[in-house]
Amino acid sequence: MSGFCCPVCGEALTSTPKTLVCANRHSFDVAKSGYVSLLQTSSRGNHGDNPQMVAARRAFLETGAYAHLRDAIGDLAERYATDGGTLLDSGCGEGYYTAAVLERLGARMEVLGLDISKSAVRLAAKRCKQGHFAVASAFHMPVKDGSIDLLLQIFSPDSASEFARVLRRGGALLECIPGRRHLYGLKAAVYDTPYENEVSPFEKSGYRFLEQRHLMREITLETPEDIRNLFWMTPYYYKTGAREQKRLEERTALTTETEFYVTVYQKL
Ligand SMILES: C[S@@+](CC[C@H](N)C(=O)[O-])C[C@H]1O[C@@H](n2cnc3c(N)ncnc32)[C@H](O)[C@@H]1O
Ligand SMILES: [Zn+2]
């Protein structure tokens, strides 16, 4: 499979029917759904999103509540695409944004996705047949130095030194983060004292700021299921006590702000 390299020795990987093998005979099984696990033992403590979170994210995103964000990411990916180049979606989750980008770019770029969560990668690989997907850590990417032309980091871990290593000079980093008021209505429904998110300054050493989209939109969820899925896909659910969880379970509708920054940087 093209795009990824051996996580042990860094050599290129070639496909045999059910495995990827490098010149040093390190071999990795390709799952039925088409992804490969290139995770190293040292990363195995962190499993990323669990199956419940992954299923909740898939179901929530399918409602179209973040379709405006998906479209903004698609627009920017198209603008900064490199024909014949390689795009990597780091922390791709279940592939909602990866699929949108693939649809926009067609065959213009080879598309790779990685995530440390096996259940997320399985769904992403099933959804995006033209992409290449690996279970791998963003902090130890099975990707060659300078081989990526466009890197997506959408609500996923910031592994600055790995990003700088894999992105070619002049390549683009598209980063999406939540704004201050993102999901404030959800937090207000759960907590006695909700807080705003912190947003760091948009400067990155080693990069030039190219452009930014700031998206703010109020959304209303009209079923307990949608509310539950939104809550389950956030880290809040896992940090919240039973009393507060119950408050949300009793809601039949919820209105909340959403706020995103999508920023594009160029690697110097
Ligand atoms: C908030 S989700 C975002 C997923 C996807 N980009 C989206 O926006 O739908 C964060 C993702 O980062 C993944 N993740 C967490 N730690 C990771 C790591 N060290 N390396 C790669 N992915 C990681 C999680 O498994 C999860 O899928
Ligand atoms: Zn190898």
pLDDT digits (tens, 9 = 90+) for 121-165: 999 999 999 999 999 999 999 999 999 999 999 999 999 999 999
Measured at the CA of 241, the angle between CA 236 and CA 243, to 5 degrees, comes to 120
User: For 229-246, what is each residue's pLDDT tens digit?
Assistant: 999 999 888 888 888 888
Nearest atom within ligand 1 for CA of residue 89 = 6
How far apart (Å, rounded) are the C-alpha atoms in residues 202 and 205? 10
Q: What average pLDDT does range 209-237 have in this prediction?
A: 95
Predicted pLDDT of residue 237: 83
Task: Examine residue 11 and state whether it is found in any structural domain, yes or no.
Answer: no
How far apart are the CA of 110 and the centre of ligand 2, in A? 22
Task: Examine residue 99 and state whether it is found in any structural domain, yes or no.
Answer: yes
Mean pLDDT of the chain: 94
Q: What percent of the chain has pLDDT over 90?
A: 88
Task: Examine residue 6 and state whether it is found in any structural domain, yes or no.
Answer: no
How far apart (Å, rounded) are the C-alpha atoms in residues 244 and 188? 11
Task: Examine residue 25 and state whether it is found in any structural domain, yes or no.
Answer: no
Task: Examine residue 27 and state whether it is found in any structural domain, yes or no.
Answer: no
* Residue 253 pLDDT > 80: yes
Task: Examine residue 219 and state whether it is found in any structural domain, yes or no.
Answer: yes
- Burial (CB count <10 Å: 0-12, 13-18, 19+), residue 32: exposed
Does residue 152's CB lie within 6 angstroms of at least one atom of ligand 1? no
**112 forms bridges with which residues in the sheet?**
88, 132
Q: 85: domain range?
A: 33-267
Domain count, the chain: 1
CATH of the domain at 47: 3.40.50.150
Task: Examine residue 17 and state whether it is found in any structural domain, yes or no.
Answer: no
How far apart (Å, rounded) are the C-alpha atoms in residues 46 and 92? 16
* Residue 178 pLDDT > 90: yes
**pLDDT tier, 72 (very low <50, low <70, confident <90, very high otherwise):** very high
Task: Examine residue 13 and state whether it is found in any structural domain, yes or no.
Answer: no
How far apart are the CA of 24 and the centre of ligand 1, in A? 30
Predicted pLDDT of residue 104: 97
Measured over the CA atoms of residue 229, residue 227, residue 192 and residue 259, the dihedral's sign is positive
